[in-house]
Structures are given as structure tokens and as C-alpha cells.
Amino acid sequence: MGATPQYASMYFIGMKTGKTYSIDAYVSDVNGARVNFDEGAGAGSGTADFITFDEPVQLKDFSIITGTADTEKIRLVAGGKPTRHVLRYSLFLNTLATRPALAINFAAGTRISAFQISD
């Protein structure tokens, strides 16, 4: 099928300050491709494929716009190492009134990224 890129959002909270971070993401809908993150002017195919925070953070929510054709989930990566955390799009669609609660912790300065997976 033809890839149909979509946008997503990740909502983090600082574990020391309580500050909230709402980060937009670009999902290219290509198996194995990295997710791109907003660097201040919107997320897109040419933006950074990682984010970092100066404090420990917890990922509280992930939402993605309905419509990808080729990928069904993302795997989170911390410090270049894939984690066990896989976020399946069908559970985190932006159209859902409720999504599973997340509590995924990352240490301060951790390079957080994600890659796309097809079933």
C-alpha cells in the first residue's frame, strides 16, 4: 500500500518540576522509519528524530491521527536502545474518548526516539 503519513502527539510531565511537555510528532507510515519530532516550527520529515529533556520525565499520553496504511505501532527507544514499550495505534487514536494511561519514565538527558512497525 502507499504510505499515508500522519501526525501524533506525546504528552510528558517533568518528574521534578511537574512541568508539562506536549510534543508533536510526524509518523511517515514507513516500516522501520524513525518518528520525527517538533523542534519549534512543527514536526515533519526533516525534523529531528529524537527529543531530550533536562529533567526526568514520564510519558503520560500518546495520540495519533487515524489513517496510516502501512504501519500499526511504534516502539519507543531510550538512549539508542529499543525498549519493551510498543504503542499500537488502534489503542491511541486521537478520536478515542479514552486511551490507556501511560507511565513510562525516562531519565534526564535520555535521547528519546521511536521507530515505526508494520504487522
Cell numbers representing residue 35 in the block? 518518528
Burial label for 81, CB within 10 Å (0-12, 13-18, 19+), is exposed
- The radius of gyration of the chain's CA atoms, rounded to the nearest angstrom, is 13
What is the C-alpha separation between 35 and 89, in angstroms, rounded? 13
pLDDT recorded at residue 1: 66
Cell reading at 107: 531519565
> Contact at 8 Å (CB) between 12 and 62?
no
In the chain (119 residues long), the average pLDDT of successive 10-residue segments reads: 91 98 97 95 93 98 95 97 97 94 98 96
pLDDT at residue 39 in the model: 87
* CB atoms near residue 84 (< 10 Å): 7
- Looking at residue 44, the DSSP 8-state letter turns out to be -
Phi/psi at 96 (nearest 5 deg)? -80, 135
